[in-house]
Amino acid sequence: MKSYASFCPVAKTAEIFAERWTPLLLRELCMGARRFGELQQGLPLISRSLLAQRLRELELAGVVERMPLPDGVRHEYRLTVEGEAFRPLIDLMGMWGQTHGRGRIRPGDTDPAQLVWGMRRHLETAALPAGRLVVQFEFSGVTKAWNAARYWWLVLRRPEVDVCQKHPGYDVDVTIAARLHAFTLVWLGHRGLAEARRAGEVRLDGPPPKVALAREALGLRDEPWVRGFDFSPRPDPFGPPVPPA
């Protein structure tokens, strides 16, 4: 890690925390990702070699520990006490971005995979149906690289939520057809759903009770709002947070 050659505590923190990808890697670890593959799934744009390098750096800094698994071959990564102390910084960065980062999200910052997995991670779990609710997404305005992955499905049922890139084989209850960038802003709360629907950039089709249920579960509000993000640990790093004891 690069040194600022300064005794300032801010400098010492920045030497560890301010490397590219490190805050996002710590976010994944805070949420409970343990295996290398889980970490890479949460950070799809980082190369395997750079991810391995960042993990080694954090291990040397005493922020992460590598734990062998019972098979004696594989291992997993966990935050140390020092690593857990970064959790409030992750929460504050999320709050700052939601409050002060509006207008900074460019179309190139969005892709359907990160959006759908983000929706799965941060569902309003109390609104999940006891039965099954299938939501189909049809995204337009995607980059050429994602043109073949415009269709996604969320299969919502308590307590499980499945993400599918192929039709799950169930009847679709709600279809959301939307411009990817516009819908991302609506989901983040930076833009109201009502305005996006009036502009023809987001459309929700289905029986009104099921559309209302999907809206509540996904947190889609008619007016802009400051959406809170929970980076608490969860047994499934891509699922809902562990409820408090």
How do residues 149-172 score in pLDDT, each as one tens digit? 899 999 998 878 899 999 999 999
Domain 107-218 fold: Nonspecific Lipid-transfer Protein; Chain A (3.30.1050)
Residues in CB range of 69: below 8 A, 6 or more apart: 75, 76
| Spans of all domains in the chain | 9-100, 107-218
CATH architecture for the domain at 9-100: Orthogonal Bundle (1.10)
Distance separating alpha carbons of residues 77 and 59, to the nearest angstrom: 9
The enclosing H or E element of 79 equals strand 75-79
Average pLDDT over the chain, rounded to an integer: 91
How do residues 46-60 score in pLDDT, each as one tens digit? 999 999 999 999 999
**Which residue would you say has higher pLDDT here, 102 or 24?**
24
How do residues 179-235 score in pLDDT, each as one tens digit? 999 999 999 999 999 999 999 999 999 999 999 999 999 999 999 999 999 888 876
